[in-house]
Chain A
Amino acid sequence: MRGPLGPLLGRSAPPEPVLDRLFALADVAGPLAAATGFTPGGTGAVAHRSVEGGPFGAFARTHREVLRLLRSGAAPEVETCEDEHGWAWIRIGRPPGTLGELPGDLHMVNALLQEGGFGPYLLCSVVCFERGPARLGLVHLYRRGTFYPYAPLPGGRRDAGLEREAAAALAGEIPVEPDTGRWFPVRDAPGL
């Protein structure tokens, strides 16, 4: 239930998310490289909640189906990992240098889980860029359909200057999350 009545009755449902914007990622590599020198690192990942129900529950079945489809295509590297709080990642590896099919892969994972009824348990998708040892993640917030940059530094800090620079470079290409309070760090994203 949405609108003002939802909270009043104690059952707010999240809004319907916009997935198609993930395809807009294909256009960002050029402007980002021109502005900051970062190039695609070949890694993308989708964060989701590991929903309970056991290995033969509904979520595990959908999850297995996603992995099977990913591995059956042009065979990217696929890995999964889970943390102790119950959040998990599906990591996809493609050859570095270009974004190539990565946006399509990420869209497929999101769309399949959404179709299976597990949209509420998707958090975000991350694409990694690199410049030497430095890493930059471009995070797509599933719920809001917006993107923001995340530049980790050693010791859990963030490179705010680089993030602003990257956001400015991307502003014309993709919808950048306007509320910087929602530029949440994704510390355990694979590839960063």
Chain B
Amino acid sequence: MKTRNAFQHEEKFVQFIREQKERFYLLAYNYTKNEQDALDVVQDSIQKAMLSLDRLENVEYMKSWFYKIVVRTSIDFLRKHKRLHVTDDDTLQYLTPAQEDVYEDVDLEHALDELPQMYREVVILHYFEDLKLADVANILNIKLSTAKTRLYKALKLLKIQLQDVKGETTHG
């Protein structure tokens, strides 16, 4: 019975990965900002997941379980390559008062990237990957209340940025 479950898990997992691979790539890419590194993260995540697939008790948790592995692998990757630490740059960039960004499009384009990682990942997982906030909290190993706060803050930050741009255009 147990092996049978394991086997069914494997079939479902393979199917799930094949259908959603582009989503995982996008997520990994958002962390690594580099094509080759994102591919490595996807590969490492799949192999890691398959080795612990038997420990996944319920296939219904597969989605958030695997996202968790991708997020963790990405973060580990960033930690190992500290010199490429994107968060720090982002944070720095964010904390630096915005210079005159004249072009509306440019700002909108970078709005997500300018968000510090801790806010960005909540937005991505919740809105773009359609995960419940409780699952997002689980994936990021944070409390549900923290996830809510971060999401709220993220939206606020995004709005402020975007409003600023709007304000400028109406001025001009």
A and B bind: no
Task: Mark B residues whose CB is within 8 Å of A.
Answer: none
